[in-house]
Structure 1
Protein backbone atom coordinates (compact mmCIF):
# COMPACT_ATOMS: atom_id res chain seq x y z
CA UNK A 1 0.00 0.00 0.00
CA UNK A 2 1.45 3.40 -0.95
CA UNK A 3 2.39 5.81 1.80
CA UNK A 4 -0.33 8.42 2.24
CA UNK A 5 2.27 11.03 3.19
CA UNK A 6 5.37 10.65 1.02
CA UNK A 7 8.46 12.71 1.75
CA UNK A 8 9.22 15.66 -0.49
CA UNK A 9 11.99 13.67 -2.16
CA UNK A 10 9.68 10.72 -2.83
CA UNK A 11 6.99 13.00 -4.24
CA UNK A 12 9.51 14.73 -6.54
CA UNK A 13 10.84 11.37 -7.79
CA UNK A 14 7.31 10.14 -8.49
CA UNK A 15 6.44 13.36 -10.35
CA UNK A 16 9.63 13.05 -12.46
CA UNK A 17 8.76 9.43 -13.32
CA UNK A 18 5.23 10.45 -14.41
CA UNK A 19 6.46 13.43 -16.45
CA UNK A 20 9.15 11.34 -18.14
CA UNK A 21 6.66 8.58 -18.97
CA UNK A 22 4.25 11.09 -20.55
CA UNK A 23 6.97 13.16 -22.22
CA UNK A 24 6.13 16.24 -20.14
CA UNK A 25 9.02 17.78 -18.28
CA UNK A 26 11.44 14.88 -18.71
CA UNK A 27 15.07 15.33 -19.66
CA UNK A 28 14.74 13.14 -22.77
CA UNK A 29 12.31 13.91 -25.60
CA UNK A 30 11.39 11.60 -28.47
CA UNK A 31 9.77 13.73 -31.15
CA UNK A 32 8.19 12.25 -34.24
CA UNK A 33 7.77 13.74 -37.70
CA UNK A 34 4.28 14.99 -36.76
CA UNK A 35 5.70 17.28 -34.06
CA UNK A 36 6.29 20.21 -36.48
CA UNK A 37 3.83 23.09 -36.10
CA UNK A 38 3.04 26.03 -38.38
CA UNK A 39 2.53 28.44 -35.48
CA UNK A 40 5.98 30.01 -35.39
CA UNK A 41 7.36 33.40 -36.31
CA UNK A 42 7.30 32.89 -40.10
CA UNK A 43 4.52 31.24 -42.19
CA UNK A 44 7.01 29.79 -44.68
CA UNK A 45 8.60 27.67 -41.90
CA UNK A 46 7.39 24.88 -39.61
CA UNK A 47 8.74 24.64 -36.07
CA UNK A 48 9.47 21.66 -33.83
CA UNK A 49 10.01 22.81 -30.23
CA UNK A 50 12.69 20.79 -28.44
CA UNK A 51 11.37 21.28 -24.88
CA UNK A 52 14.07 23.57 -23.48
CA UNK A 53 11.59 26.39 -22.89
CA UNK A 54 9.64 24.25 -20.44
CA UNK A 55 12.69 22.64 -18.86
CA UNK A 56 14.43 26.00 -18.24
CA UNK A 57 11.44 28.06 -17.23
CA UNK A 58 11.70 30.09 -20.46
CA UNK A 59 15.39 30.99 -20.06
CA UNK A 60 16.41 28.97 -23.16
CA UNK A 61 14.49 28.12 -26.30
CA UNK A 62 15.40 25.59 -28.97
CA UNK A 63 13.59 24.28 -32.00
CA UNK A 64 14.14 22.69 -35.37
CA UNK A 65 12.93 24.90 -38.20
CA UNK A 66 12.18 23.50 -41.63
CA UNK A 67 11.02 25.12 -44.85
CA UNK A 68 7.52 24.61 -46.14
CA UNK A 69 8.19 23.41 -49.73
CA UNK A 70 7.16 25.95 -52.36
CA UNK A 71 6.93 28.83 -49.87
CA UNK A 72 9.74 31.34 -49.76
CA UNK A 73 10.74 34.24 -47.56
CA UNK A 74 8.74 37.43 -47.60
CA UNK A 75 9.75 38.69 -44.16
CA UNK A 76 10.99 42.27 -43.84
CA UNK A 77 14.36 43.22 -42.39
CA UNK A 78 14.10 42.85 -38.63
CA UNK A 79 15.91 42.42 -35.32
CA UNK A 80 15.25 40.40 -32.18
CA UNK A 81 15.40 41.57 -28.57
CA UNK A 82 17.27 38.66 -27.02
CA UNK A 83 20.54 37.85 -25.28
CA UNK A 84 21.69 34.94 -27.43
CA UNK A 85 20.80 33.37 -30.79
CA UNK A 86 22.63 30.48 -32.44
CA UNK A 87 21.73 28.63 -35.64
CA UNK A 88 23.06 25.31 -36.99
CA UNK A 89 22.02 24.26 -40.51
CA UNK A 90 21.13 20.55 -40.72
CA UNK A 91 20.37 20.36 -44.45
CA UNK A 92 19.62 22.51 -47.44
CA UNK A 93 20.73 26.13 -47.73
CA UNK A 94 19.63 29.68 -46.91
CA UNK A 95 20.93 33.12 -47.80
CA UNK A 96 20.82 35.78 -45.08
CA UNK A 97 21.93 39.40 -45.01
CA UNK A 98 23.29 40.71 -41.71
CA UNK A 99 23.88 44.42 -41.13
CA UNK A 100 27.60 45.05 -40.97
CA UNK A 101 28.40 41.48 -42.08
CA UNK A 102 26.93 41.28 -45.60
CA UNK A 103 25.16 38.38 -47.32
CA UNK A 104 26.05 34.80 -46.45
CA UNK A 105 24.93 31.52 -47.97
CA UNK A 106 24.48 29.00 -45.16
CA UNK A 107 24.71 25.29 -46.03
CA UNK A 108 24.55 22.03 -44.07
CA UNK A 109 27.08 22.36 -41.26
CA UNK A 110 27.08 26.18 -41.23
CA UNK A 111 26.67 27.92 -37.89
CA UNK A 112 25.62 31.47 -37.12
CA UNK A 113 25.93 33.41 -33.90
CA UNK A 114 23.57 36.34 -34.36
CA UNK A 115 24.66 39.18 -32.07
CA UNK A 116 21.83 40.64 -29.97
CA UNK A 117 19.83 43.18 -31.94
CA UNK A 118 21.63 42.63 -35.27
CA UNK A 119 19.43 43.71 -38.17
CA UNK A 120 18.98 40.91 -40.68
CA UNK A 121 16.81 39.52 -43.45
CA UNK A 122 16.45 36.15 -45.09
CA UNK A 123 16.89 36.46 -48.85
CA UNK A 124 16.08 32.88 -49.98
CA UNK A 125 16.24 29.21 -48.96
CA UNK A 126 15.98 25.73 -50.43
CA UNK A 127 12.79 23.71 -50.10
CA UNK A 128 14.64 21.14 -47.97
CA UNK A 129 16.12 23.64 -45.47
CA UNK A 130 16.27 22.39 -41.87
CA UNK A 131 18.10 24.11 -39.05
CA UNK A 132 18.32 24.19 -35.27
CA UNK A 133 17.93 27.52 -33.52
CA UNK A 134 18.80 28.13 -29.86
CA UNK A 135 17.79 31.40 -28.16
CA UNK A 136 17.97 33.07 -24.78
CA UNK A 137 15.32 33.74 -23.68
CA UNK A 138 12.86 31.36 -25.31
CA UNK A 139 10.34 34.12 -26.04
CA UNK A 140 11.49 37.46 -27.43
CA UNK A 141 10.25 40.45 -29.38
CA UNK A 142 10.89 40.92 -33.08
CA UNK A 143 10.95 44.43 -34.51
CA UNK A 144 10.73 45.39 -38.19
CA UNK A 145 13.57 47.78 -39.08
CA UNK A 146 14.61 49.86 -42.09
Structure 2
Protein backbone atom coordinates (compact mmCIF):
# COMPACT_ATOMS: atom_id res chain seq x y z
CA UNK A 1 0.00 0.00 0.00
CA UNK A 2 1.51 3.31 -1.07
CA UNK A 3 1.26 6.22 1.38
CA UNK A 4 1.19 9.85 0.27
CA UNK A 5 4.41 11.63 1.23
CA UNK A 6 5.89 15.07 0.78
CA UNK A 7 9.46 16.31 0.50
CA UNK A 8 11.16 17.30 3.75
CA UNK A 9 14.62 18.69 4.53
CA UNK A 10 15.38 19.19 8.22
CA UNK A 11 18.53 21.28 8.45
CA UNK A 12 20.86 20.41 11.30
CA UNK A 13 22.02 23.97 11.93
CA UNK A 14 18.50 25.26 12.53
CA UNK A 15 17.12 22.18 14.28
CA UNK A 16 16.16 22.84 17.89
CA UNK A 17 16.01 20.30 20.71
CA UNK A 18 13.02 20.50 23.03
CA UNK A 19 12.75 19.15 26.57
CA UNK A 20 9.29 17.78 25.87
CA UNK A 21 8.62 14.32 24.67
CA UNK A 22 8.10 10.81 25.89
CA UNK A 23 10.86 10.86 28.52
CA UNK A 24 11.73 13.77 30.85
CA UNK A 25 15.42 12.82 30.86
CA UNK A 26 15.77 13.32 27.09
CA UNK A 27 15.55 16.24 24.66
CA UNK A 28 14.00 15.64 21.25
CA UNK A 29 14.67 17.17 17.84
CA UNK A 30 11.87 16.47 15.38
CA UNK A 31 13.20 15.62 11.91
CA UNK A 32 10.00 16.49 10.01
CA UNK A 33 9.27 12.89 9.02
CA UNK A 34 5.83 12.73 10.66
CA UNK A 35 4.60 15.69 8.60
CA UNK A 36 6.24 14.38 5.42
CA UNK A 37 4.63 10.94 5.81
CA UNK A 38 1.22 12.19 6.99
CA UNK A 39 1.76 10.47 10.34
CA UNK A 40 2.92 7.10 9.04
CA UNK A 41 6.41 7.45 10.59
CA UNK A 42 8.14 9.72 13.11
CA UNK A 43 11.89 10.31 13.43
CA UNK A 44 13.77 12.18 16.14
CA UNK A 45 17.29 12.85 17.23
CA UNK A 46 17.18 12.24 20.98
CA UNK A 47 19.86 13.27 23.45
CA UNK A 48 20.33 13.06 27.20
CA UNK A 49 19.32 16.10 29.27
CA UNK A 50 22.12 17.23 31.52
CA UNK A 51 21.49 16.27 35.14
CA UNK A 52 18.53 14.00 34.35
CA UNK A 53 18.70 10.24 34.85
CA UNK A 54 16.66 7.35 33.50
CA UNK A 55 13.78 6.15 35.68
CA UNK A 56 14.19 2.45 34.92
CA UNK A 57 10.45 2.01 34.48
CA UNK A 58 9.30 -0.95 32.39
CA UNK A 59 7.10 0.09 29.47
CA UNK A 60 5.69 -1.00 26.13
CA UNK A 61 5.15 1.09 23.00
CA UNK A 62 2.00 0.51 20.95
CA UNK A 63 3.61 0.72 17.54
CA UNK A 64 4.20 -1.47 14.50
CA UNK A 65 7.92 -0.63 14.10
CA UNK A 66 10.66 0.97 16.22
CA UNK A 67 14.38 1.24 15.67
CA UNK A 68 17.18 3.40 16.97
CA UNK A 69 20.79 4.09 15.97
CA UNK A 70 23.28 5.34 18.58
CA UNK A 71 25.27 8.45 17.60
CA UNK A 72 27.17 9.28 20.81
CA UNK A 73 27.73 8.00 24.33
CA UNK A 74 26.28 4.80 25.75
CA UNK A 75 23.17 3.49 27.51
CA UNK A 76 22.05 0.31 29.24
CA UNK A 77 18.62 -1.04 28.35
CA UNK A 78 16.88 -4.18 29.48
CA UNK A 79 14.59 -6.08 27.11
CA UNK A 80 12.26 -8.80 28.32
CA UNK A 81 13.58 -12.11 27.02
CA UNK A 82 16.83 -10.54 25.79
CA UNK A 83 18.48 -9.29 28.97
CA UNK A 84 20.50 -6.17 29.64
CA UNK A 85 22.20 -4.62 26.62
CA UNK A 86 24.76 -1.83 26.54
CA UNK A 87 24.50 0.23 23.35
CA UNK A 88 27.30 2.39 21.96
CA UNK A 89 27.96 4.56 18.88
CA UNK A 90 27.18 2.66 15.68
CA UNK A 91 24.82 0.20 17.38
CA UNK A 92 21.38 -0.29 15.81
CA UNK A 93 18.47 -1.81 17.72
CA UNK A 94 15.12 -2.96 16.33
CA UNK A 95 12.56 -3.26 19.11
CA UNK A 96 9.75 -5.58 18.01
CA UNK A 97 6.21 -4.29 18.51
CA UNK A 98 5.08 -4.75 22.10
CA UNK A 99 8.44 -5.72 23.62
CA UNK A 100 8.72 -4.79 27.32
CA UNK A 101 11.84 -2.77 27.99
CA UNK A 102 13.38 -0.12 30.21
CA UNK A 103 16.37 2.16 30.22
CA UNK A 104 18.61 1.60 33.22
CA UNK A 105 21.21 4.35 32.75
CA UNK A 106 22.95 6.47 30.12
CA UNK A 107 26.02 8.66 29.69
CA UNK A 108 25.59 12.44 29.78
CA UNK A 109 26.45 12.63 26.06
CA UNK A 110 24.07 9.83 24.96
CA UNK A 111 22.47 10.65 21.59
CA UNK A 112 20.52 8.55 19.10
CA UNK A 113 18.22 8.63 16.09
CA UNK A 114 14.87 6.93 16.62
CA UNK A 115 12.31 5.96 13.95
CA UNK A 116 8.82 4.74 14.93
CA UNK A 117 5.66 3.82 13.03
CA UNK A 118 3.04 5.11 13.32
CA UNK A 119 4.04 8.64 14.32
CA UNK A 120 1.29 8.88 16.93
CA UNK A 121 2.00 5.81 19.06
CA UNK A 122 1.03 5.07 22.64
CA UNK A 123 3.20 4.02 25.57
CA UNK A 124 2.03 1.96 28.55
CA UNK A 125 3.92 1.77 31.83
CA UNK A 126 4.45 -1.78 33.05
CA UNK A 127 5.13 -2.12 36.78
CA UNK A 128 5.72 -5.85 37.02
CA UNK A 129 9.36 -6.77 37.58
CA UNK A 130 11.13 -9.40 35.49
CA UNK A 131 14.35 -11.16 36.38
CA UNK A 132 17.36 -9.29 34.99
CA UNK A 133 19.80 -11.20 32.82
CA UNK A 134 22.99 -10.01 31.15
CA UNK A 135 23.04 -10.58 27.39
TM (norm. structure 2) is: 0.86
Cα distance change, pair 116–134 in 1 and its aligned pair in 2 (3 A): same
- Structure number with bigger Rg: 1
Highest RCO, 1 vs 2 (Cα 8 Å, sep ≥ 6): 2
| Partner of residue 12 from structure 2, selected from 20, 25, 31 | 31
| Post-superposition CA distance 1:2-60 (Å, at most 9, x none) | xxxxxxxxxxxxxxxxxxxxxxx642221336610111001110000000000000000
| Partner of residue 24 from structure 2, selected from 17, 33, 43 | 43
Q: Does 1:121 align with 2:102?
A: yes
Unaligned runs of 5+ in 2: 1-5, 129-135
Q: Does 1:91 align with 2:72?
A: yes
Unaligned runs of 5+ in 1: 1-24
| Partner of residue 112 from structure 1, selected from 93, 103, 109 | 93
**Which 4+ runs in 1 deviate beyond 3 A?**
none
How far the C-alpha of 1:141 sits from its partner, in A, is 0.6
How far the C-alpha of 1:101 sits from its partner, in A, is 0.3
TM (norm. structure 1) is: 0.80
Over aligned residues, Cα RMSD in angstroms? 1.3
Distance in 2, Cα, partners of 1:75 & 1:61: 24
Distance in 2, Cα, partners of 1:122 & 1:26: 34
How far the C-alpha of 1:75 sits from its partner, in A, is 4.6
Distance in 2, Cα, partners of 1:105 & 1:144: 22
| Partner of residue 142 from structure 1, selected from 123, 131, 134 | 123
- The structure carrying a bigger helix percent of its residues is 1
